[in-house]
Structure 1
Amino acid sequence: MSLKKSIILIIIVLLIDQISKIYIKTNFVLGESVEVFNWFKILFIENEGAAWGTKLSDILPVSDASGKLFLTVFRLFAIVGIGYWLFDIIKKNSPKVLILAVSLIFAGALGNILDSVFYGLLFDHSNHQVATLFAEEPYGKLFYGKVVDMLYFPMIDTTWPEWVPGKGGKSFRFFEPIFNIADTAISIGVAILILFNKKAFATNPIEEEKEETN
């Protein structure tokens, strides 16, 4: 997979991700949902933390603001590392499946970083109102944006049978996480690495010959 094809894939993922987020942000009130199917809903939430909404302040004795800044800066360093890895494996002519997976992970990570870095400057808040793009009074500042999530798949929404110890009568929902296109790209990339691990990290015959010659 060439650098050109990798860049095209990254741009496509970023465009779909950002267009969907901007549409949701400028057309939905926070918490608003639309049922597409009984097992799929568009539900607008904002994520201030890491995966599944986890905040650093939930784990360490730091303020929400400090935790948010740390996570954003960490993501920036991470995307630089992933970008270097992608460039390196393309340069080494690594297996296409590896380049595909890393390209998807890079695109997804970059998509969420754009939210974290810039959305606080671009939008006003979404509480009880539809946000405005390029708002005169944005809800945050640089590095303090919230990630927009909207894809929700409550494929099973029921209650536990009364006879189940500790769970009887309580609600049970699968699948609960709410995510976005960027998260989907990252998940697909990671899944490819897991499922096609041997193929992705197979030794490149050309590189092997060069090493033996040296």
Structure 2
Amino acid sequence: MRKILFSGVVVASALLLGACSSTDSPASAPASSTQSGHNAADVAFAQQMIPHHRQALDMAKMVPSRSTNPKVVDLAGRIDKAQDPEIRQMQGWLDAWGAPSTGAAMPGNAMPGHEMSGQPAPGHAVAGMMSDADMKNLAAAKGTEFDRAWLEMMVKHHQGAVEMAKAELGQGSDAGAKALAQKIIDGQQAEISEMQGLLKS
């Protein structure tokens, strides 16, 4: 009889211990979920970098019919090939996150340094964007005049992208978005140096 009672106490103790361990586990769950999620800075990064990249593609597409410099033509082709897939990647993130696309959330062309309305992360101005007048003037240029104007504008454009990418590294939480930000910094810093060299030559 004592053996039966003893075994009953052991079973009851095990059940109590099990209950305690199960109540502890939810407390650790939020920590793991926050580490792998995205935040407002990630959304702002994608929303602002997409139109920024699109303007760079518009500028790159002007080059073949206006430039006389094969090095500028080559660079424009590389920019087009690099940034178009990145636009699709960022749009995919926004769709997955249930965030609005940039087309509805912000104007297409903004002056450098101007804050954009309706953005989830304050302080993220779309730096380096050209105005409509800038783009029209560039489209009207030809030859050496075009090459110089295009290089000067693209340097500023790239510097703006690097600025936004650095903000994402400091404020974002999504691993994929931060990896793309670092890729943009590495690639566009190298292209800035290349363009500055072309401007000096």
Q: TM-score, normalised by structure 1?
A: 0.32
Task: Pick the structure with more helix per residue.
Answer: 2
Rg comparison, structure with higher value: 2
**Which structure's relative contact order is higher, taking Cα pairs within 8 Å and 6+ residues apart?**
1
Q: TM-score, normalised by structure 2?
A: 0.33
